[in-house]
Amino acid sequence: MNHYVLEKSLGDHEHGRALLYSRGDNFLVASYSKAFIRPEVLVFKSDPEGNVTDWIELYGEKHDKEITMNEAIHSTMARFNRLENKPAP
């Protein structure tokens, strides 16, 4: 299996935090936002520096407020990896 792995933190932003993940030459930004009632993590395509290259979300999840930002981001990416590597029926 070929999973996306954490490369680095892109830092905190006004509404949360962003982390950069990679799989070979493919890069994703997982961005946590608390701008809405329930915090959410959205996943976008990016370049190696973490600049989003396509603002159409690849995946997203809402989370409970009690979950930390990093826990929310990592659990979202773990589910994304499982879905990406799920065998076709």
- pTM for the structure as a whole: 0.90
Q: What is the mean predicted confidence (pLDDT) over 4-27?
A: 95
What's the pLDDT band for 88 if we cut at 50, 70, 90? low
Domain residue ranges in the chain: 5-84
Residues 6+ apart with CB under 8 A from 74: 6
Nearest by Cα to 65 from 44, 86, 88, 35: 35
Long-range Cβ contact pairs of 6-12 (< 8 A, separation 24 or more)? 6/74, 6/77, 8/50, 10/50
Q: pLDDT tens, 32-65? A: 999 888 999 999 999 999 999 999 999 999 999 8
By the 8 A CB rule, do 33 and 63 touch? no
Bridge partners of 74? Answer: none
What's the pLDDT band for 23 if we cut at 50, 70, 90? very high
- Predicted local confidence at residue 36, as pLDDT: 87
